[in-house]
Amino acid sequence: MARQKTQRILTHAQVWTALDRLAERAGMSPSGLAKRSGLDATTFNKSKRVTGDGRERWPSTESVSKALAATNSSIETFVQLIGDSARGAQSVPLLALAQVGDGGHFDDAGLPAGKGWGEAALPSTGDEHTYALEISGDAMRPAYRDGDIVVVSPGTAIRRGDRVVLMTSDGEVMIKELKRRTARQLELESLNPAEADRTLDADDVAWIARIVWVSQ
């Protein structure tokens, strides 16, 4: 007996989530995207997505078209965002680790900022500030290899034994394992056995964030 093929149905939630992510990619709220698109500011608000009697309200083709034009995005990009939503994925900023120390890629809180970032579709972490770094070279073998992508979640709590990425006040960037953390110091274990471990004063750390996943 032939196996019946399961059809994938486009859902109301997937379309609206794709619009939300389109706004996020452009650094805007849903209402900000609506304004930029020449629409009423409430067009994409969550309160407008379901009617008073509980019926789902879908965005019009015209409003989606205007949103794509306002963000200089293609219909293919929008379809990809829908697919990411269906797979429980999220589009996150992506940067080569070797570029992190160049400056201008992070704000004071250690969140992605400025130009030079690409994008990657990765499993959702539940942290809207998640970003990804691509490993270059073999300096962190055997933990990470050239081309691996580590996913960093600034909003996730850091515990002893976690792998972290951090930047010092001097602009040095490193990926280590957190051995111990006090109010005054951080003890860090190198991922490459050939490299020495580090101990840093807490005041010398500009920001630190937890690595939650790696694509190998």
- The reply to whether 2 falls in a domain is no
Asked if 81 and 138 sit in the same domain, the reply is no
Asked if 199 and 164 sit in the same domain, the reply is yes
Asked if 114 and 48 sit in the same domain, the reply is no
CB neighbours of residue 115 within 10 Å: 6
- The reply to whether 95 falls in a domain is yes
Residue 18 belongs to domain spanning: 10-87
pLDDT, tens digit only, all 216 positions of the chain: 444 444 456 788 888 888 988 887 777 888 889 999 999 999 998 888 888 777 889 999 999 999 999 988 888 888 888 876 666 666 788 999 988 877 789 998 899 988 888 887 776 677 888 899 999 888 888 888 888 889 899 999 999 999 999 999 999 999 999 999 999 999 999 999 889 999 999 999 999 999 988 875
- The reply to whether 25 falls in a domain is yes
Strand partners, 150: 133, 214
- The reply to whether 3 falls in a domain is no
Q: Of all residues in the chain, what percent carry a pLDDT higher than 70?
A: 90
- The reply to whether 186 falls in a domain is yes
State the CATH number of the domain containing residue 172. 2.10.109.10
Residue 129's φ and ψ, nearest 5 degrees, are -100, 10
Asked if 67 and 103 sit in the same domain, the reply is no
- The reply to whether 128 falls in a domain is yes
Asked if 147 and 195 sit in the same domain, the reply is yes
Asked if 180 and 144 sit in the same domain, the reply is yes
Q: Per the structure, how many domains does the chain have?
A: 2
64-84 pLDDT per residue, tens: 999 999 988 888 888 888 876
- The reply to whether 4 falls in a domain is no
CB 91 within 8 A of CB 119: yes
Asked if 120 and 30 sit in the same domain, the reply is no
Distances 98 to 24, 109, 154 between C-alpha atoms, Å:
26, 20, 19
143-156 pLDDT per residue, tens: 888 888 898 999 99
Distances 118 to 8, 32, 55, 131 between C-alpha atoms, Å:
29, 23, 38, 10
State the CATH number of the domain containing residue 40. 1.10.260.40
